[in-house]
Structure 1
Amino acid sequence: MPTRRDLLAGLASAGAVGAAGCVQVGSTDRAPAAAGSDAADTGGTNDASAEAAQLSGSATETEVYRSTIESVVGVLNYGRNGPQGSGSGFVAGDGYVVTNQHVVAGATETKLRFQGNVWRDAEVVGTDAYSDLAVLRAENTPESATPLSWVDTDPEPPVGTPVMAIGSPYGFSGSASTGIISGVDRVLSAPNNFTVADSVQTDAALNPGNSGGPLVTFDGDVAAVAARGGGDNLGFGVSAALSKRVVPALASDGEYDHSFMGVRLVEVSPAIAEAYDLDDVGGVLIVQVMDGGPADGTLLGTDGSTTVDGVSVPTGGDIVVGIGGTDVDVQADLSNYLALETAPGDAVQFTMLRDGTETTVEFELGERPDPTR
């Protein structure tokens, strides 16, 4: 029998991540049998792991689907007043399933629907609002539901990589859509109203109910956990790089500690660059420093304002242009570095502009407070 250490190691190297919106039960979960049933499950899937081993960059959509579908689940949630919503998820370890935090938020009972209309009760073992990830645990899962592997994130898959989103949009189990990774290093505004760093953008269709399902490459590896659709040909997911940090902690501890600077900031715009007499438009302006926070006494927030081309611009604050030796041109650069390269308690160097002079400061990062939204 695998030990808990073995399971957690598997979660770090195997994995899954999910897609757009939490479907309200009542319409989608009562879809016509021909479409909402497991008709799409068939495809003749036999041994998922054996087929995955045969995949290559030239794999067809059918091969990708057959190698992964047995590991994808529907997630149905119940509240105090009965069914409250549904989403998707995927197997990431022995009995462990990954989905979105917003999919299971507020649920008092959760059930998983595996392929072949096999249902299992699930326990929520950990959630994280800041990454919009959750880990569930179910007993006696089907043998065919083998863990999916995370994509290699060194480097992360580039724009143009073909991908497939698999899940239960509008309650239609076993659905697939294809596209490419159409953007990287995004800062996602998740359905739970929190922003998620290092997000992946795709033009594969992500609809309500895809949330929590895997966005897989044509090698069958999870590139992102689908989180939301943003419009025509525009969807987003939590990256494999961030998921590989968060998921094992959720499985072992039920929570994940995020780094925290204790500041409010805004990306440098052309108007801000003009107000600060900068040669280039880049960096992030510190607007406010939290009293007693990690950056208090080291970074300075704005203390005045000026008008540039009819626009009010805050003045007097530090402009961060680097962190840990990495340039900060836009806010995503700072957010992604904090999310992927640091942990609470780390002493981190920041390169900044103060009164037109570049300088380097260092302070110890704190732990992001529990969400209040």
Structure 2
Amino acid sequence: MRSLRVIPPGPGVLTELRTAFAGGDAILVGSPSDDLPREVEQRVALVVETSGSTGRPKRVALSADAVLANAVASESALGGPGQWVLALPTHYIAGLNVLARSLVAQTAPVTVEGEHFTAAAFLEATAGMTTPERFTALVPAQLATLLDDPAAASALAGFRRVLIGGQATPPALLERAALAGVMVTRSYGSSETSGGCVYDGTPIGQTEVRVVDGEVRLGGPTIAEGYLGDPALTAARFVDEAGMRWFRTADAGTFEAGRLAITGRLDDVIVSGGVKVSLGAVERLLRENGVEDAVVVRADDAKWGEVPVAFTASEALPASALAAIEAALGPAARPRMRGGSDIPMLPSGKPDRVSLAARLNN
């Protein structure tokens, strides 16, 4: 067994991560909790709490080998080592990945300071960089913030690559980035896969992808040991076959000609008037048709049983977006709207769907 210590987010995380990977105590970046065990299995070096964007957070147990395999694969996919700007929280896997990549590259990351992400803070961080080979990882909202600022957009255009993950990126935002000369790579993965392991639809490193009964499964050396203290869920979501460990993502998708496309969540399908409707598919079509901030959740309905509801800051949904939804998914998928809504976000940059769903009952 191995001791597990909780450490606070901050400048000391990089040193603690290096020590954990070298065989020291396992670490969890966050706040102490009474139900956290004091020891973990010997292979576990890092425990990451998931964001809980759709429900109860989970504690993912990762080995040093898995996290470093992801970092090495990322470096190869991005064209070599470089210096990273840390703009994401270090208690989530995306921020920890930036530190792991820095350890592999043997470069010192620079941190965006401040409680809230701003273009000015990002520019201040880039001023401290010491190498022309520059990288960063952002969520879509952060990318939009930087593109809105001419100086920040110009600085970002000087980066070799900008990883974007955490949620689906609106096509219009990707077009803005391309026009600004920003080299964006879309990253797909989760805490259970040591972070992003599919870039722009292509598996990186030794990652393997397959789709079983419509569900995307990811396999390879970056897969987690399981969920801390939850053997039943571990058994349900992780599969070992012929020496390969696989993670059942619960994402729906296709994998054709070596390219992965995510189409929604298997667990976000509702039945509205007897018709199955994927909330993820509705949300994707809204974002592809001009409603870039749309977040779609389920709501109870006396007549139809369940209906999709779209939260957005917009005051109306474009007729073209509604037409696209009906054409692709049928009339039952046409969402009701909560316009003029602020979208609550988790620290990971993902929409807080639980909070939005709770609003429907108030």
Q: Shorter-chain TM-score: which interval?
A: under 0.3
Larger-Rg structure: 1
Higher RCO (CA 8 Å, separation ≥ 6 residues): 1
Which structure has more strand as a fraction of its residues? 1
TM-score by length of 2: 0.28
TM-score by length of 1: 0.27
